């Protein structure tokens, strides 16, 4: 067992016994119900904050209030595809591509750079945007993504299609993250900072796969609870 795996296992409950299909389906529905409930309540609770943020974004820089971007979501396919199936897939995105919503934190022409990772000191980030990112307020519109069924509150962070394709070829089991709905926060985000290199991505994939194996109502609640101090302390990569 590697040091990484030992560290991950120490942070979560012991692995449960292999669930029967019916038990697994019930657990998935229960987790989804929890995430939708939290998103609905949260959206109502933070509506005044979102209104203020929207006004500040609009007044502080040229461009729209919201930023939309394609992200790779849930892969509903089961099992390993055959060579023939792979040949028939002319554009295998790795999962259902959906539109993610965020408050705009970068200059209006930031997309000219294409699909690239954003860093904490990215020069494209506006002054208001830096504050929003600092406290993760730019992610609040994704509560709507949760209600739409694109995401959960808790799950692996969704990636842009171009970056996903690149990482799938470089990081082992990267595509296995798509077995569950992506999330606003996750086990990887509360344990690891922003990606700076491929080793960071590999570490986060281990966290994500650990979460998927142990996913439950209890684990989702624990991660939601840990997200609050991460936001306040500005640690992790939510």
Whether 9 is in a domain gets the answer no
Alpha helices in the chain (DSSP H): 3-11, 21-45, 47-60, 83-88, 127-134, 142-148, 161-168, 198-214, 217-233
Domain that holds residue 54: 21-233
User: How many other CB atoms sit within 10 Å of the CB of residue 123?
Assistant: 8
How confident is the prediction along the chain (238 residues), in pLDDT tens digits per residue? 444 444 454 455 544 444 566 777 888 899 999 999 999 999 999 999 999 999 999 999 999 999 999 999 999 887 665 666 555 555 688 999 999 999 999 987 766 655 555 555 677 889 999 999 888 899 999 999 999 999 999 999 999 999 999 999 999 999 999 999 999 999 999 998 878 889 999 999 999 999 999 999 999 999 999 998 877 665 655 6
Q: At what angle do helices 21-45 and 217-233 cross, to 10 degrees?
A: 30
126's CB contacts (< 8 A; 6+ apart) are: 60, 61, 104, 105, 106, 107
Residue 15 domain-assigned?
Answer: no
Residue 150 lies in a domain: yes
CA separation for the pair 107, 11 (Å, rounded): 39
- Residue 61 lies inside a defined structural domain of this protein: yes
Question: Does residue 2 lie within any of the structural domains?
Answer: no
With 0-12 / 13-18 / 19 or more C-beta atoms within 10 angstroms meaning exposed / middle / buried, residue 211 is: buried
In a domain, 63, yes or no: yes
Please tell me the distance from the alpha carbon of residue 183 to that of residue 201, in angstroms, as a whole number. Answer: 16
Is residue 227 domain-resident? yes
Residue 103 has a pLDDT of: 97
CA angle 148, 47, 37 (to 5 degrees): 45
Q: What is the pLDDT of residue 220?
A: 96
Q: Considering its fold, how many domains does the chain have in total?
A: 1
Q: Is residue 151 part of a domain?
A: yes
Query: Do residues 157 and 138 touch, judged by C-beta distance below 8 A?
Result: no
Q: How far is CA 37 from CA 9, 62, 143, in A?
A: 29, 35, 10
């Amino acid at each position: 067992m590697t040091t990484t795996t030992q560290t991950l296992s120490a942070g979560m409950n012991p692995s449960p016994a292999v669930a029967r299909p019916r038990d697994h389906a019930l657990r998935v529905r229960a987790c989804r119900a929890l995430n939708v409930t939290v998103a609905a309540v949260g959206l109502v609770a933070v509506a005044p904050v979102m209104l203020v943020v929207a006004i500040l974004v609009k007044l502080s820089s040229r461009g729209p209030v919201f930023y939309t971007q394609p992200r790779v979501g849930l892969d509903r396919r089961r099992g390993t595809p055959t060579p023939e199936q792979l040949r028939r897939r002319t554009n295998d995105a790795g999962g259902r591509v959906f539109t993610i919503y965020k408050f705009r934190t970068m200059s209006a022409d930031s997309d000219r750079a294409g699909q690239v990772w954003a860093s904490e000191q990215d020069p494209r980030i506006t002054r208001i945007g830096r504050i929003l990112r600092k406290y993760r307020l730019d992610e609040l519109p994704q509560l709507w993504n949760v209600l739409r069924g694109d995401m959960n509150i808790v799950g692996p962070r969704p990636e842009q299609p171009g970056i996903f394709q690149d990482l799938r070829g470089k990081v082992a089991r990267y595509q296995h993250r798509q077995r569950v709905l992506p999330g606003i926060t996750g086990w990887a985000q509360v344990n690891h900072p922003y990606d700076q290199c491929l080793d960071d991505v590999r570490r986060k994939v281990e966290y994500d796969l650990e979460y998927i194996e142990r996913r439950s109502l209890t684990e989702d609640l624990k991660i939601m609870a840990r997200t609050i101090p991460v936001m306040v302390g500005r640690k992790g990569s939510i």
